[in-house]
Amino acid sequence: MKNVQLDEVGEEIGSIVGEYTLKVNLGIDALLDETADKIIDYIKTHAPRSGGKDPLADSFVKEIYGEGTNRIVIIYSRSKGTLIHLLEFGFRHRSGKQVAAKPFMRPAYDTFTPEMLEDMNEIIKGGK
């Protein structure tokens, strides 16, 4: 750290905090992107491959809204959104037959979210 005059301490602290904030925001943004990609990869390997030339497993995408602390990453099926809840939770067919659940979205979130939260804590602690 460089020598700072007493009247410049406030500016120096502001500069240090600004650099720290920028590093944390960039680190968290990269972590969110990486985690979203891991979740999509998991879904693609565990979701049903039915659906003709556009299988359900390949229909998942991520969209990013906002910036910095207001950043949101959404993962959804671009073409088969009306079927997801039926596969994820199961359903009763018109004939009365129960179709078992084949969850693939919730396990993906449950697998990668705790790791992401731990990594976020490390980013915040270390300013990386």
Is residue 122 one of the residues assigned to a domain?
no
| Domain range enclosing 43 | 6-115
Is residue 123 one of the residues assigned to a domain?
no
**pLDDT (tens digit, 9 = 90+) per residue, 6-47?**
777 888 888 888 899 889 988 999 999 999 999 999 999 998
Counting the structural domains of the chain, the total is 1
Under 8 Å between Cβ of 34 and 50: no
Give strand pairing partners of 99: 91
* Predicted structure pTM score: 0.80
Q: Which of 57, 25, 46 is nearest to 111 (CA)?
A: 46
Question: What percent of the chain shows pLDDT beyond 70?
Answer: 95
